[in-house]
Structure 1
């Protein structure tokens, strides 16, 4: 076996000091995986560094580089599969390439080759009699899954913007604005159909953390939860479903909040759900016990983050809490690459939003500047974390704050 990378994630197995992983590549043999991983609790920077060096020096390095350079081919192939409805067709049952071509109105020979590549990517599987079916990954690409919307965004506007990524690196301004002439939130505000696709695409990741957060965190009975920049309300609705004595306010820009109300009518929480339109840089609803900022701050630069947090701080009454859901970069250079999704997402922020991913200490600094105190960080699925903060003794403008533990998350 040949060393094939590895890394250290400080946000997994936190009590054991994080988790290290070593990857190995093996010759392809029938019925055996081509890649193995060895994981263990703890941090071993010297071992990781030596393992990674030996992998880079191995004869397979050129092949690995070619694989990296060809990465956009995979993204485009998956995007096209969504565009032509390939996985929707396969959802009806195993089909031949000819069947798929006929039902998608595509060239049979081209579809046959695409299916072969998608098999290589793990999107579909080949069965007997030259038939294909969806894998669990392929099922995520059906039209009824928000991952299909995510694929459309990443293969559409975002993909086209990435062509201008060099401009973002050279100037510090987004590739999206260089491509389209406006920043991406303004772009979506002017295009309601695209905005709905974007909101549904964000639901793909939110779904993966919403149930975990709503089940494992104690939302007190009678609490009012305010979801700031909550998009179509996926996270807030999950909390309300799991906590029948909790009420919620969805707060976002007008075109977003209107769509959220129109698309989601559920009798189980309708009387406890309301939507308010506004600007989170200026003012947020002041009646909340728990405020949520889920994947909002990573969209903005430090100055704008402090403005958003300061608006939240002004709204917080005595005993209120703020929950910030974000991915975290490692706080210190470990000598090994970050194996989480955070580093790639940081590049997406550079290219598209003008924001960035941050470390725990960097978020702590922003919270302090806005008048909060970071109390704890808890892990969530897909490398997400919830940062629990409370008002500090004085707010960002010197106004007094509660400065005392609230009866919610930290006290339980």
Structure 2
């Protein structure tokens, strides 16, 4: 019989495969790439290092060779490929912490097996998998909460320089970063605009980290961190209210409530800024399904953002590119 030369099902099997994605996620969780990079390269030594079954780990490693993550060097010895190096911690664009099944996002990804439930009911998949909402789960597990904060802080740090340059923030007096986490975004903006003052508003845990980061950046004279919830009344002393990668984490009603709180605090003179992934009127469909399954959230298009803001009296007045993200300014009509 002639060897099959076309992808099975026209490539649909490869697109729908669960084995390889899970094998890579297990490799990330066990930090196999870090061990291999450090010189632990045989099946036996790796099994001992990661406390795994030798036979099963060997079979996993062999599939990672097939998948192009590793290369076989003979006699049960493995090397990292160019792809596999992205699983090493500390590398540019490193994916280990994102794919780690025991971390916040890798843990959440497992709920995608309940996408059918979400499609049928409109409910998020995460509670179907774990019996808790995403946020309840973070509150119950300090390790996952720490991994989530670290991932979000790292992501903001990557995008923050472009956001800091995208808008003339220096024309504001005080910018309030609503749900600002560890302060990464606000600190970068303040460092680029010397006359600006700022406030991070978040829950007590992130606020403690923000206070430390502000002090380390030497910005105590221009920045502060206050504990609070974006579902409650916000400080009224800002002339800019920043929502950076916040709204997509919540269902429509909750996102609208957050927008309402910002609009009320902004009154008639301040602006509300939404920083997120906007590509004209389109939505990132993969990210949208993730937000839906994790939180019941939504990755908004600009049109959807405008529709959500309209009942608060806010309208979009500018959209400025900031690397892969955009800075959307909204003001009272």
Please confirm whether the aligned pair reaches a TM-score higher than 0.5, indicating the same fold.
Answer: yes
Shift of 1:374: 0.1
Report the equivalent of 1:74.
20
Deviations 1:26-54 (A, max 9, x none): x99xxxxxxxxxxxxxxxxxxxxxxxxxx
Structure 1: give runs of 5+ residues left out of the alignment. Answer: 1-26, 29-58, 333-337, 393-412
Match of 1:223 among 173, 176, 180: 173
Match of 1:371 in 2: 313
SS at match of 2:277: strand
State TM-score, norm by structure 1: 0.67
Q: Alpha carbons of 1:76 and 1:270: their partners in 2 closer, same or farther (altered >3 Å)?
A: farther
Q: Distance in 1 between matches of 2:88 and 2:327?
A: 28
**How far did residue 253 of structure 1 move?**
2.1
- The whole-number CA distance in structure 1 between the counterparts of 2:208 and 2:307 is 34
Deviations 1:384-406 (A, max 9, x none): 332222232xxxxxxxxxxxxxx
SS in 2 for 1:279: coil
| Residue of structure 1 equivalent to 2:264 | 314
Paired residue secondary structure (1:385): strand
2:252 corresponds in structure 1 to: 302
Q: 2:328 aligns with which of 387, 405, 408?
A: 387
Q: Is the 8 A contact 2:160 2:188 kept in 1?
A: yes
**Count of aligned pairs between the two proteins:** 326
CA distance in 2, matches of 1:154, 1:236: 23
1:185 Cα shift?
A: 1.6
- Gap change, CA 1:235 and 1:105, over 3 Å in 2: same
Partner of 1:150: 98
Tell me whether 1:236 sits opposite 2:183 in the alignment: no
Cα distance 1:321–1:174, how it changes in 2: closer, same or farther (>3 A)? same
Q: Which residue number in structure 2 is paired with residue 4 of structure 1?
A: none
Contact 1:150 1:204 in 2 (8 A): no
SS state of the match for residue 216, structure 2? Answer: coil
Q: 1:364 to 1:219 in 2, by over 3 A?
A: same
TM-score after normalising by structure 2: 0.82
Q: 1:90 to 1:248 in 2, by over 3 A?
A: farther
* Structure 1 partner of 2:31: 85
Partner of 1:201: 151
C-alpha separation between the residues in 2 aligned to 1:139 and 1:232? 25
Unaligned runs of 5+ in 2: none
| Contact preservation (8 Å) 1:82, 1:142 | no
1:346 aligns with 2:288: yes
Contact 1:158–1:352, Cα closer than 8 Å, also in 2: yes
Of the structure 1 ranges 148-157 and 221-230, higher mean CA displacement relative to structure 2 is found in 148-157
1:61–1:211: structure 2 CA closer, same or farther, 3 Å change rule?
A: farther
TM alignment of 1:283-302, pairs within 5 A: 283-302=233-252
Aligned in 2, Cα 1:268/1:285: closer, same or farther, shift over 3 Å?
A: same
Identify the structure with the greater helix proportion.
2
- Residue 353 of structure 1 deviates from its aligned partner by 0.6
Q: Could you tell me how far 1:252 is from its partner in structure 2?
A: 1.5
Q: 1:63 to 1:111 in 2, by over 3 A?
A: farther
Q: CA deviation at 1:324?
A: 0.7
Please report the RMSD computed on the Cα atoms of aligned residues, expressed in angstroms. 3.4
